[in-house]
Amino acid sequence: MILMFVAPSLFGKALQSKQNALSEEQAVFTGKIKDMFSGYEVIRSFHIYRHINGRFDKQNADLASVKFASDKLFVAYLLITGDITAGTLVALVQLGSFFVQPMMMVIQNIPKIKGIVPVIKRLDDFAEYKDTDFTGTIEPSFERQIAVKQLEFSYNDDKKTIDSIDFIFEKGKKYAIVGESGCGKTTLTKILMGYFFNYEGSVQLDNNEIRQLDAGGLDYELGENGKNLSGGQRQRIAIARALIKKTPVLILDEGTSSIDMQTAYDIESSLLAINDLTLITITHKMSQELLGMYDTIIFMDEGKIIKSGHFNEMLSKQSEFYEFFHLKNDKK
């Protein structure tokens, strides 16, 4: 009788502690999963699938361990307080494990299963992507150039997003890629970063096809989805990471779009002043002063490079870039 009175108070505190621990672990697990999915482009670009899978497995195991400890204590508490008998517990376990729970799960999840089919197909595509290419062993080096030859790429068979591009990015030079939305600027930079492998043609770092290179890695942890940072701070941190790492090539897709105009100008002009840095940036900011600091302006349209050259040369009248540049500035 004493045990019956004392046990609830003892187990009540312990159970509350276990439930709190479970709640905290679930919050951590949810945050990690959100980070992994929201940062998928980084994971894909840096080819760190194994590292991320390892982190997921560990986090999943930690959550399962905490949940098991909580459930075990809860069942013991119910048995001692007499809320259930040992026989009832056995019956619940048997029915729950082998009949009721599976049936309920099937009934509840049939709509979800049907709805998630496209998502599973997309994840399968990602899985196939990481296992089929970029498994080379050649040590990356960048001494001379990035050569793009007869590059073609499409997301589906209907239309080419990149169409027969030939271009050479020379080490240490600065390139601004401009053009209307949907012309293929972002796709081109993603191919250069190794984001897609199923392109036609060739992308060579010096004389080595990028598929034959041994991919690098990234290991840095910040709060869930960078929740304590503004969009501009995230962009500045991303640029700082690349510079601290002394990367020889920096590829930016609107890398200062979330930063105020003065700070963006300061960052971009500072990047342009780094002699050993090869800079390839997509920009919609038609600043004559900044664009004039680039070695080459690349003007794209419908997946093709229409014209390239120094800003002053590109502004020659009757050219497509001339019309594009003035159209953008007239809209301001």
Residues 179 and 286 in one domain: yes
Q: Within 10 Å of residue 61's Cβ, how many Cβ atoms?
A: 10
**Domain count within the chain:** 2
Q: What's the CATH code of the domain at 167?
A: 3.40.50.300
Residues 60 and 159 in one domain: no
**Does residue 293 fall inside a structural domain?**
yes
Beta bridge pairs of residue 299: 178, 307
**Does residue 123 fall inside a structural domain?**
yes
Q: If you write DSSP's letter for every residue of 31-91 in order, what string do you get?
A: HHHHHHHHTHHHHHHHT-HHHHHHHHHHHHHHHHHHHHHHHHHHHHHHHHHTSS-HHHHHH
List CB contacts of 81: < 8 A, sequence separation 6 or more: 4, 7, 8, 11
**Does residue 46 fall inside a structural domain?**
yes
**Does residue 140 fall inside a structural domain?**
no
Q: Last residue of some domain: 100, 132, 164?
A: 132
**Does residue 126 fall inside a structural domain?**
yes
Is-above-0.75 flag for pTM? no
Q: What is the pLDDT along the chain (332 residues), one digit of tens a residue?
A: 454 445 555 555 666 677 777 788 888 888 888 888 877 777 777 777 788 888 888 888 888 888 877 666 666 666 666 666 767 766 666 666 666 667 777 777 777 777 777 777 766 665 655 445 556 678 878 888 999 999 999 887 778 889 889 999 999 898 998 888 888 888 898 888 877 778 899 999 888 888 888 767 444 445 555 554 556 666 677 777 767 777 788 888 877 766 677 777 787 888 888 888 888 888 877 778 888 888 999 998 888 898 888 888 888 766 788 888 877 666 55
Residues 188 and 300 in one domain: yes
Residues 183 and 124 in one domain: no
Residues 20 and 158 in one domain: no
Supply the range of the domain harboring residue 96: 2-132
Residues 102 and 68 in one domain: yes
pLDDT for res 170? 92
Residues 171 and 301 in one domain: yes
Residues 35 and 103 in one domain: yes
pLDDT for res 219? 45
Residues 233 and 283 in one domain: yes
* Cβ-count burial 181-204 (b if 16+ within 10 Å, e if not): eebbbbbbbbbbbbebeebeeebb
Residues 125 and 240 in one domain: no
Encoded tokens for 224: 């869930």
Q: Last residue of some domain: 81, 109, 132?
A: 132
**Does residue 139 fall inside a structural domain?**
no
Q: Within 10 Å of residue 162's Cβ, how many Cβ atoms?
A: 23
In angstroms, the CA 247 to CA 46 distance is 13
List CB contacts of 179: < 8 A, sequence separation 6 or more: 185, 299, 300, 301, 306, 324
**Does residue 25 fall inside a structural domain?**
yes
Residues 37 and 158 in one domain: no
Residues 180 and 298 in one domain: yes
